[in-house]
Amino acid sequence: MRPKILFAAVTAFAISATSAMAQTVTIEVGYPYSALFDVTFKRIMPLFKKAHPGIDVKFRATYDNYEDATNTILREAVADKLPDVTFQGLNRQALLVEKGIAKSLEPFIAKEGDISKDGYHKAMLDLGTFNGKVYGLPFAVSLPVGYYNMDALKKAGITKLPTTWDEVVENCKKLRKAGFKNPLFWGWNITGNWFFQALMWSQGEPIVKAGKVNFHGPEGLKSLETMKKLFRGCNMLNLPVGDAGKPFAAGEVAMHFWSTSAVGAIERAKGDFELKTGEFPGIGGPPKGLPAGGNAAMLVSTSKDPKVVDAAWKFLKFTTSGDGAAVVAETTGYMPPNKAANELLGEFYKKNPNKHTAVRQASLLREWIAYPGSKSLAITQVIYDQLESIVTGDSDDMKDVQTELVEEVNSMLPKK
């Protein structure tokens, strides 16, 4: 090749490469729970890149939990270092809306036309709707379930899964006789006081009503007494959230009550025993309701470049689409909030019944309530500390615990 022709070819290639780089848009994304969602995004990203080759996604350090996710975003908002998309707990969206950090998705939804054709139904959109506008698109929805080591239960002579907490305690007695020193872990310490809310909703009551504490009555006391009965009757250890599932996966704990979100992780980590999931037991009978856990994708970008904002929307929509929701269900155990995913998962659920348990409970979905006001996160911690005192045995009179909780939380709620 002659020098002039070679120079022209090199120049043309350089111009082409520069043009391609100029067309690539980079967005930044933050999500929680590395142990749950790393495998999910590893599956989603090649699909997203194929659909949107001009968008590069830079993931920030994962949030430890939903409280950490919200605290991080609040700090980043002050420092003007927000990502473009953040995945926040369903119960923490309102705070970011109130503070003007989350952007309304209504303009983007309007441009899509009839978004319901893509599986975005009203019940799904309602989970991220505030003041009549959609701010978050649910990415993963969970409910509490029971995890059972069927080999251990058979060893203890237990032939059917428990449907009430009294039955769970009776099972603990049988399991201890069979050699299981600590037969149970019950997820009291899951983010957002989720299991406390589960016990309240099981009795048909929210933890907060009309902006006021609603665990001051018999349902609240019954919830606390149920926890004490489980902790004492099952000799439960006080394990940190990150370690709570390890003894079950190792075959040392026979019954593990946790979010359905962990099915995939436990299946990958468990030892050589038969695992079966079952519906969440109730207080004296089947639950009347259960709080919807999980998270939603929210647009928090402060970029002035419309291409960046548009790219953020494309990522947000793709991850919550039927394709994205199907990957979430397959890799975790979360329920797919997008209806289109159900068409993709029929055969999957037949082959993976442990991941279908939460779907069977879908009619019980209730709001995962965030405490109103600027002290929402602090209230979560106050309740956490009181519940931990029951686990450790430092608190034994549940009426006293209830009185202290009601007084302290009431003092932190907004005064009307």
**1 found inside a domain:** no
Q: Are residues 31 and 87 in the same domain?
A: yes
Q: Are residues 286 and 331 in the same domain?
A: no
Neighbours of 353 (CB within 10 A): 11
pLDDT of 5 > 70? The answer is: no
Mean pLDDT of 126-134: 94
Q: Are residues 157 and 107 in the same domain?
A: no
DSSP 3-state of 213: strand
Q: How far apart are the first and last CA of the chain?
A: 82
Neighbours of 87 (CB within 10 A): 27
pLDDT of residue 16: 44
Return phi, psi of residue 314, to 5°. -60, -40
Q: Are residues 377 and 262 in the same domain?
A: yes
pLDDT of residue 370: 87
Q: Which domain holds residue 167?
A: 144-291+372-412
Q: Are residues 34 and 130 in the same domain?
A: yes
CATH at 330: 3.40.190.10
CA distance 94 to 96: 5
Confidence of residue 22 (pLDDT cuts 50, 70, 90): low
DSSP 3-state of 276: strand
State CA 416 to chain mean position distance: 31
pLDDT of residue 346: 87
Q: What pLDDT, in 10s, does the model give residues 176-196?
A: 999 999 999 999 999 999 999
pLDDT of residue 102: 98
Q: Are residues 252 and 320 in the same domain?
A: no
pLDDT of 2 > 80? The answer is: no
Q: Are residues 185 and 286 in the same domain?
A: yes
pLDDT of 9 > 90? The answer is: no
Q: Are residues 259 and 176 in the same domain?
A: yes
pLDDT of residue 77: 98
Torsion angle, alpha carbons of 225, 229, 230, 235, to 10: 140
Mean pLDDT of 37-65: 97
**10 found inside a domain:** no
Domain count, the chain: 2
**12 found inside a domain:** no
**137 found inside a domain:** yes
Q: Are residues 259 and 191 in the same domain?
A: yes
**18 found inside a domain:** no
pLDDT of 14 > 80? The answer is: no
Q: Are residues 390 and 331 in the same domain?
A: no
**What's the chain's length in residues?**
416
Mean pLDDT of 283-292: 95
Q: What pLDDT, in 10s, does the model give residues 75-86?
A: 999 999 999 999
Contact of 334 with 325, CB cutoff 8 Å: no
**Of the ranges 36-40, 163-167, 366-370, which one carries the lowest mean pLDDT score?**
366-370
Contact of 146 with 254, CB cutoff 8 Å: no
Contact of 349 with 359, CB cutoff 8 Å: yes
What is the pLDDT of the chain when averaged over all its residues? Answer: 92
**6 found inside a domain:** no
**387 found inside a domain:** yes
Q: Are residues 137 and 251 in the same domain?
A: no
Q: What's the half-sphere exposure (Cβ side, CA atoms, 13 Å) at 378?
A: 10
Tokens of 350: 């037949």
Q: What pLDDT, in 10s, does the model give residues 237-255?
A: 999 998 999 999 999 999 9
Select from 149, 158, 160 the least CA-distant residue to 253.
149
- 268-272 long-range Cβ contacts below 8 angstroms, 24+ apart: 269/245
Q: Are residues 117 and 249 in the same domain?
A: no
